[in-house]
Amino acid sequence: MKPRLLKGSRLVVATHNPGKAREIAGLLGGDFDVLTADQAGVPEPDETETTFIGNAVLKARHAAVVSGLPALADDSGLSVRALDGAPGIYSARWAGPGKDFAPAMARIHDELGDAEDRSGWFTCALAVAWPDGSVFAVEGTVEGTLVYPPRGDRGFGYDPVFLPEGGAETFGEMDPAAKDAISHRTRAFTQLKAALID
């Protein structure tokens, strides 16, 4: 039987990305005493896996072992069809050590060139690990189209160049609540909550 996450308990969110930490804390809805990786003294591990799920599990296990607490990790990124799924698991690395996504968005635009297919998708893998080694993972995706130049200053990462399917605003233009209603992270969280919390 898999462990559960008990509301009110302490949970490490294994990220050093403040935007991602805020979004995850919001999706958890105040049900947990959340510590970020920085607050829990958890250094960033090397992401050596080849899938989003693999990297999420790696980060969650690392944080659970170091902190001695249940840990939730996310691995997410943007995949572009015409670029054979790149940047994919390397989405953050394309932004460089300073996590500056403006050059990364420009690189996608440059590499797409005059390709007709501008479709892509965001993936979010979520993993929860416990200090005893137990782990649970899920994945959510959202389809869309890549636009350029970037639009909007909300969200983070590649949000300003991602127009979700059927939408008129990029993730960078959307009200955070509207983005949360359809995002890849929300879709993964819905599965996670159904399995471990609700």
DSSP symbols for 47-105: ---SSHHHHHHHHHHHHHHHHSS-EEEEEEEEEEGGGTT-BGGGHHHHTTTTT-HHHHH
Q: Would you state the pLDDT for residue 28?
A: 84
**pLDDT tens for each residue of 82-91:** 999 999 999 9
5 within a domain of the structure (yes/no): no
4 within a domain of the structure (yes/no): no
Q: How many domains does the chain have?
A: 1
Range of 87's domain? 10-196
Q: Would you state the pLDDT for residue 1?
A: 60
53 within a domain of the structure (yes/no): yes
Q: Would you state the pLDDT for residue 31?
A: 85
Q: Would you state the pLDDT for residue 88?
A: 97
38 close to 17: Cβ distance less than 8 angstroms: no
Q: Would you state the pLDDT for residue 18?
A: 77
Task: Tell me the mean pLDDT per 10 residues along the chain, length 198.
Answer: 82 85 81 90 92 97 96 96 97 92 97 97 97 96 98 93 97 93 93 86
Q: Would you state the pLDDT for residue 91?
A: 96
d(CA 86, CA 80): 6
Q: Would you state the pLDDT for residue 7?
A: 86
3 within a domain of the structure (yes/no): no
Catalytic machinery residues: 75
115 within a domain of the structure (yes/no): yes
Q: Would you state the pLDDT for residue 143?
A: 98
